[in-house]
Amino acid sequence: MSVILHLDGDAFFVACEVARNPRLRGQPVVTGQERGIACALSYEAKAIGVRRGMPITQIKRLYPQTVILPSDYRAYSLYSQRFYAIVRHYASRVEESGIDECFVELDDFDAGIVNAIRHDLQIELNLTFSAGLANTKVLAKVGSKWQKPDGFTVIPPEQTSFFLSRLPLERVWGIGPRTATRLNKLGLITAADLAQCSHTWICDHLNKPEREIWSELRGQKTHPLTVGPRPDYQSISHTRTFVPPSAEQSFLLSCLSRNVESASRKLRRYNLLANRVKFSLKTQNFCYYSIECKLIYPTATPAKILTTINHHFNKIFRPGITYRATGVTLNNLVSSTQIEQDMFGQVNKSLQLNNIFRIIDRIGRRYGSRSVFLASSLRSLPRRLAKTKLTNDKMEFSLNIGEVLK
């Protein structure tokens, strides 16, 4: 009977920074400078009071001793590849479930192999990973979170109730605050309370994902291990919050234009085309209004997607309401290489247009993504970039190249 190991990097992004610059060790460090909010924090930063998502300006003011770094995803991804290579040296069935965590199928409760993997990770990468070993993925995850950082917790079947009776429901993987509150009202407080429920009871009160968690907590393998390369994207999205909030239609459309440019750039990078677009407005009160629309044909061309958005915008926009963010999600993705043989002329035309945007993508990589952009995105950019006088509607899909860069 196989068992599941869960490995979880400790403060991974920051740990990578410390690994390549040992002088940072022991200091409060955060990454996310480029986004203006703390993305990852070292345990030292956590200890002095820095929180995830905290604005960088606030961190500088309240905790001036903190070292603030921009994220270097390329470096983290290289560390991630080495992490997986080390794990695969010991096991063949590995599920990559994130840049810094994975599930591994092992033959039995063998702490030796787990310690060997963790030892190699420590020596070769200078990174620590917390580990959990149990019968199911959910229980292995309980184990890896039990003692962080650098902990290793085995949960054999006969000791499951010991751990679960000490674990509040909301700490279980897959149970968020909403579900926890609902289950609390039904009298369930700990993970053990849930695990002890009868089959008839859970059929009456829980939905499918919750029933699966129940089953996993009881040691029955329900979440299969998905081995192999990461599945393709189901969707690609781009959202952005702006300050101050705005009620102005033309500004919101411009923000959506910018969202579409970013999302479609990613689409092209992965040679994908979208069949549907969903766009949303988020109000000052954190209400979401969204609508999903079919695109006339699969495309990665921002102008085509924007035509559709403009057409449906008034279905969700309400004058007088103030909004704080816009977002765009591209759905029902297909590979562009598959579509290339398509007989419809329109699609071919779209692919040609796509080639123009691929050239723009190259310019963007060389000179920055703001060197070339759609004029319809102009109003969403900082004022110093938007000094050229343009009327948004007239410039809709024309290109504004070059000089706004400065």
Site string for DNA, 25-64 (x = CB under 7 A): ----------x-x-x-----------xxx-----------
From residue 83 to residue 122, the character string flagging contacts with DNA as x (rule: CB under 7 A) and all else as - is: --------------xxxxx---------------------
Q: Which of 159, 241, 335, 352 binds DNA (CB under 7 A)?
A: 241
Q: What is the dihedral of CA 273, 323, 246, 254, to 10 degrees?
A: 10
Residue 137 binds DNA (CB under 7 A): no
Q: Give the position of tokens 């961190």.
A: 59
- How many Å apart are CA 218 and CA 300, to the nearest integer? 46
Only one of the segments 228-236, 296-304, 334-342, 363-371 lies at the binding site for DNA (rule: CB under 7 A); that segment is 228-236
Beta bridge partners of 246: 323
Using CB under 7 A, pick the residue from 126, 161, 184, 237 that binds DNA: 237
Question: Binding marks (x or -) toward DNA, 152..191, rule CB under 7 A?
Answer: --------------------xxxxxxxxx-----------
Select the residue interacting with DNA from 115, 147, 159, 235 (CB under 7 A): 235
User: Locate tokens 């606030």: which residue?
Assistant: 58
Identify the burial level of 342 via C-beta atoms within 10 angstroms of its C-beta, where 0-12 means exposed, 13-18 middle and 19 or more buried: middle
Helix (H, G, I), strand (E, B) or coil at 280: strand
CA 195/CA 294 separation, integer angstroms: 43
Question: How many angstroms from the chain centroid is the CA of residue 45?
Answer: 22
Joined together, the tokens standing for residue 317 give 């926009």
Given candidates 118, 137, 141, 268, which one binds DNA under the rule CB under 7 A?
A: 141
Task: Looking at residues 317 to 336 of the shown chain, list those that interact with DNA (rule: CB under 7 A).
Answer: 325, 327
- Kindly state the tokens that stand for 364: 């963007």
Identified binder of DNA from the candidate list 126, 290, 310, 392, rule CB under 7 A: 290
* Of 57 and 388, CB closest to DNA: 57
3-state secondary structure of 281: strand
Shortest Å, Cβ 402 to DNA: 25
Residues contacting 294, CB < 8 A, separation 6+: 275, 276
- Select 119 or 230, whichever has its Cβ closest to DNA: 230
Segment lying near DNA (by CB under 7 A), choices 106-114, 227-235, 248-256, 300-308:
227-235
Nearest approach, Cβ of 56 to DNA (angstroms)?
Answer: 11
Q: Which of residues 384-403 bind DNA (CB under 7 A)?
A: none
Cis peptide leading into 209, omega within 30 of 0?
A: no
Q: Does 24 bind DNA (CB under 7 A)?
A: no
Range 253-288 burial, b when 16+ CB lie within 10 A, else e:
bbbbbbbbbbbbbbbbeeebbbebbbbbbbbeeeee
> Which residue in 29, 164, 188, 236 binds DNA (CB under 7 A)?
236
Q: What is the CA radius of gyration of the chain?
A: 25
Taking CB under 7 A as the rule, does residue 240 contact DNA? yes
> Of the two residues 152 and 323, which places its CB atom closer to DNA in the complex?
323
* Residues annotated as catalytic (active site), given as ranges: 101
Distance CA 382, CA 128 (A): 41
The CB-of-210 to DNA minimum distance in angstroms stands at 8
Q: Which residues contact 235 (CB under 8 A, 6 or more apart)?
A: 329, 330, 331, 333
Nearer to DNA, 269 or 349 (CB): 269
Cα–Cα distance, 190 to 187 (Å, whole number)? 10
Determine if 239 is a binding residue for DNA (CB under 7 A).
yes
Residue with Cβ nearer DNA (52 or 119)? 52
Instruction: State yes or no: residue 369 binds DNA (CB under 7 A).
Output: no
Residues 6+ apart with CB under 8 A from 246: 252, 322, 323
- Structure-block tokens of residue 362: 């190259």
Q: Which residues bind DNA (CB under 7 A)?
A: 35, 37, 39, 51-53, 97-101, 141, 172-180, 207-209, 231, 233-241, 262, 266, 276, 278, 286, 288-292, 294, 325, 327
